[in-house]
């Protein structure tokens, strides 16, 4: 009896242990499965979180582009030269503000198909000056000057050394001039058109003397 009794509790214990073990095995598997599912869920959440973070960062970058730090941004200033008024041509968007060190894309679309050749010392403004690469793209072609007889207007900022001659548009059409420049000085600079595109005997009346038609301001901030 004694050996049996002695073996009894031991056997029960063993059986219990085995039972626990047998019983514990599916629990362990379930626990492992739950663990795997949980860690997968965490991984998915982390990946989704990272992706969402990337998207947010990209959105921030895109929305920040127009006002990004100097030296890294590219901004576009679009102007038009309209002729749809009885008094002659005029520029739109005549005052703009940029930052020193950023690349400014100046895009000027002229609807003026009449030429106003430069005269006297202003004849030098038939050349493109102060742009990236020393050129402008006019009607899709990169050029470094406009034949003086074809000049219709200029966009000239003496204080920034920038000059864009605007050729006359094809009859009844428009021409777009695009150039890039990087302002390096801060301050408020006057730009003006040097082509005698106004009225009167010296062609300096009308649009040329109307404030804000053929002249304006470029503010360059730090
Ligand atoms: Cu003009």
How many Å lie between the centroid of ligand 1 and the Cα of residue 105? 20
**DSSP readout, 42-71?**
HHHHHHHHHHHHHHHHHHHHHHHGGGPPTT
141 and 61 assigned to the same domain: no
pTM (2 decimals)? Answer: 0.67
Contact 192, 198 (CB under 8 A): no
Q: Which domain holds residue 73?
A: 69-221
Distance 220 CA to ligand 1 centre (A): 23
Pick from 42, 65, 88: which residue ends a domain? 65
Ligand 1 center to residue 133 CA distance, Å? 24
Task: Calculate Rg over the CA atoms of the chain.
Answer: 37
Residue 206: closest CA among 107, 86, 113: 86
Average pLDDT value over all residues in the chain: 78
Residues 142 and 170 in one domain: yes
Residue 170 has pLDDT above 60, yes or no: yes
| C-alpha of residue 192 to centroid of ligand 1, in Å | 8
26 confidence band (pLDDT: 50, 70, 90):
low
Which residues fall inside 5 Å of ion ligand 1, going by CB? 153, 193, 195, 197, 214
Give the integer Cα–Cα distance in Å for 144 and 134.
6
Give the pLDDT band of residue 155 (cuts 50, 70, 90). Answer: very high
Q: How does pLDDT run across 59-73, given as a tens digit for each residue?
A: 443 443 444 454 469
Same domain, yes or no: 47 and 89: no
Q: What is the pLDDT averaged over residues 112-120?
A: 95
| 30 to 27, 40, 195: CA distances (angstroms) | 5, 15, 85
At residue 200, the pLDDT reads 82
Distance CA 211, CA 93 (A): 13
Tell me: do 15 and 84 sit in the same domain: no
Q: How many domains does the chain have?
A: 2
CB atoms within 10 A of CB 155: 26
Over the stretch 181-217, which tens digit does the pLDDT of each residue have? 999 999 999 999 999 998 888 887 888 888 788 999 9
168 and 110 in a common domain? yes
């Amino acid at each position: 009896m004694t050996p049996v009794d002695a073996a009894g509790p031991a056997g029960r214990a063993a059986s219990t242990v085995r039972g626990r073990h047998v019983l514990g095995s599916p629990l362990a598997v379930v626990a492992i499965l739950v663990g795997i599912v949980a860690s997968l869920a965490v991984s998915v959440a982390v990946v989704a979180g990272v992706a969402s973070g990337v998207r947010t960062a990209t959105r921030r970058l895109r929305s920040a582009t127009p006002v990004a730090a100097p030296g890294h941004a590219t901004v576009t200033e679009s102007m038009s030269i309209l002729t749809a008024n009885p008094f002659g041509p005029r520029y739109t968007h005549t005052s703009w503000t940029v930052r020193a060190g950023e690349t400014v894309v100046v895009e000027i679309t002229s609807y003026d198909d009449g030429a106003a050749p430069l005269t006297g010392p202003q004849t030098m403004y038939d050349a493109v000056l102060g742009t990236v690469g020393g050129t402008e793209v006019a009607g899709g072609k990169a050029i470094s000057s406009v034949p003086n007889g074809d000049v219709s207007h200029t966009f000239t900022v003496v204080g920034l050394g920038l000059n864009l001659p605007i050729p006359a548009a094809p009859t009844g059409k428009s021409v777009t001039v695009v150039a890039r420049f990087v302002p390096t000085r801060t301050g408020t600079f006057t730009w003006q058109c040097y082509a005698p595109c106004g009225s009167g005997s010296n062609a300096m009346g009308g649009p040329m003397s109307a404030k804000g038609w053929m002249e304006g301001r470029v503010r360059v901030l730090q």
